[in-house]
Structure 1
Amino acid sequence: MKKNRFAGRCVRFFLGVVVFSTAVFSCKENSEDLIKPKTITDVLIENEQFSILWEIVTYAKMGDALRTDNLTFFAPDNDAFAKANISSSSKYTDQATAEAFIKNHIIAKEIIDYDNLKAGVKKSKNNKDLSITKIDSVVAINKSDIVKKNVNADNGIIHVIDSLVVN
């Protein structure tokens, strides 16, 4: 009788150890299970409203440049390109022109949310002046109104503008 109790306790003990071990070892965090934050590049790729802009970014080979840290990007959507009668990247005959166009829409090394955009002049990544004006609650960059503000990305912020920044 005592032998049966001892065997029963041993079985329960080992069963408990197995269950505990399984629980401990199966709860390891796997880096593949983590959700990766979206970069500016990812946001452009995933949103159809930026298809023309993404085509130009790809043509200019600037996808990796938009993955760097601390960027404020003034992104024209497809409607902004339609206003300028541009339907594809074919307007840009060479890569350097397309790259300059993209750089004109970026403030590097600074993340500026909508509420902190102050009237004045900022330098673009292409070292061109970006004139920021604020009238009532509307902020404009070189006369391009911000129509959607503070689209957050892992490496910066995107403000959608209604026309192209021309310098």
Structure 2
Amino acid sequence: MDFEDLAGFQPDRQIGAVDGVVLIPPRVEPLHGLFPEPDEYHEYMGKTYVNPLQALRMVLDVQQFPKPFKIVIVNGLSSVCALPHYGAANTMRLAWVGHSKSIALTLADQGVRINTLSLGAVRTDSYIHKLQRKAEKNQRTYEEQVDHRNRQCSEWQVLNA
């Protein structure tokens, strides 16, 4: 269900016997630079954190959820090597991890269990197309671009270990 669909969502009627929720915040293009412009950052936070968080809140506002009630948040907008152009994405990942810990501590006695999962780069069609565009821009083959990305990540990890 997209966030826009939530206007008419009535969790007390539509959840029924659901015993868990998988929340997948939207994947958006990463913001560039360490300090994005405030309006860009606010829009990014709204799409990837605030709006999905409100959707989760709507579900959790229903006090009669089954026990245990499981929540998984799949936030694949980060990079394991924390590259500078993933600054905002890594901030969102940490926001989800932090908020999930708060939810877990607060709602554990009500049977709520929560986990977060950050997949990073997943070879979806959109990611493959993104790498193909980068390869063309950099005058590389797709394979050379993938190899370059992997080397870049490895070098960054070694330099910053």
Looking at CA atoms only, which structure, 1 or 2, has the larger radius of gyration? 1
TM-score (norm 2): 0.22
Structure with more helix by fraction: 2
TM-score (norm 1): 0.21
Structure with more strand by fraction: 1
